[in-house]
Amino acid sequence: MKPLRWARPHAGWVSGNHVELLENGEAYYRGVFEAIAAARHEVLIETFILLEDKVGLELQRILIEAARRGVQVDLTLDGWGSIDLSEAYLGALANAGVKVRMFDPRPRFLGMRLHMFRRMHRKIVVVDGEIAFAGGINFSADHLADFGPQAKQDYSVSIRGGLVPQIRRYVLLQIGRGAGRDPTGERAAKAAGDMEAMLVVRDNQRNRDSIERHYRAAIRAARKQVIIANAYFFPGYRLLKSMRHAVQRGVRVCLILQGQPDMKIVKHAAELLHGHLISAGVEIYEYCKRPLHGKVAVIDDEWATVGSSNLDPLSLSLNLEANVMIRSRAFNLELCAHFEALMKGDCRRLEADQVASRRRGWRILLDTLAYHVTRLFPAWAGYLPAHSVPLKLATPGSGPQPGGEAAWRPH
């Protein structure tokens, strides 16, 4: 096998890591909440969605407890995804000493959220510079099985080892804190395993296509198998071309996509690609057990990624995203086995005649319209400002606040 040629590393592969796959909220929340409960120095969190449900209330409780025992807690939320949090919820955090920052918060207009472009879509947690979590899981009860049929299927990873200090520094840079003094001993970070890992981010300055470049490079290097599980699949021409060329080389290329869409326009647009991909030899499976929310891929025995980035125009062209890339045979074997079981037991494979039967009459017009709207969307949105959006910091008022309300001021 020829040596793999990867895209220029975002910050280089880091050795000495142990990366564990976490499936759905049951595994993710247990790991995150246990780590925060044991925190001694510092908790850093970035998340797109935080809801005031049983998951959000439990997160609030353990963050307040951590802050009251002297832990530095920084929580960054997206002002579109987490717009419904009450003043009392945010005020209780702020009054306990938690630094709560909102990315681009704006009021509703006629009850609607209109500021959906260039969102902070990352999901990262770092505790004491010793353990980090990254992936696609938000803090909301719809990531738990007891939510019902609409509970999301999703993934994250926990990381220990050499990559954790790098993730910590990145998050501190985003909130303007700077690494500062090193209370967590990050400079003496010990190897926790034999896995190589890398943090790759997408932003609107220097890293506009970093995640997509790593996907394309990994697919070009593939020799046996590519499996991509992605909730919102509508990538650009170059990534589609890389997939077709992989099939032509004899690589098995499989896509696991949503069978129960939560955004129908995206599904309609993606279905216009299905016939083209199937005719090129790509296997397409629709996950039907529950809504798919994952952003995961595994290629051969050499490369895998788990993160926040969908393969659609919003994630690839506009939002702020973060993926972890992993090089580990053991991790890949685990992920491959999981996906094979998923495709066999919980998915239906699309065939060319099924795709053709779906696109008749008004569906042809609707799919075509959705395709072009979605395809041109990044170009239209590209006219919006791409500068860094200032964060807003929730701070307790100078005196007692009714209901624990928090005042917002620019930061």
Q: Which residues are marked as active site?
A: 121, 123, 128, 293, 295, 300
- How many residues are listed for the chain in this entry? 411
How many Å apart are CA 129 and CA 63, to the nearest integer? 16
How many Å apart are CA 168 and CA 127, to the nearest integer? 9
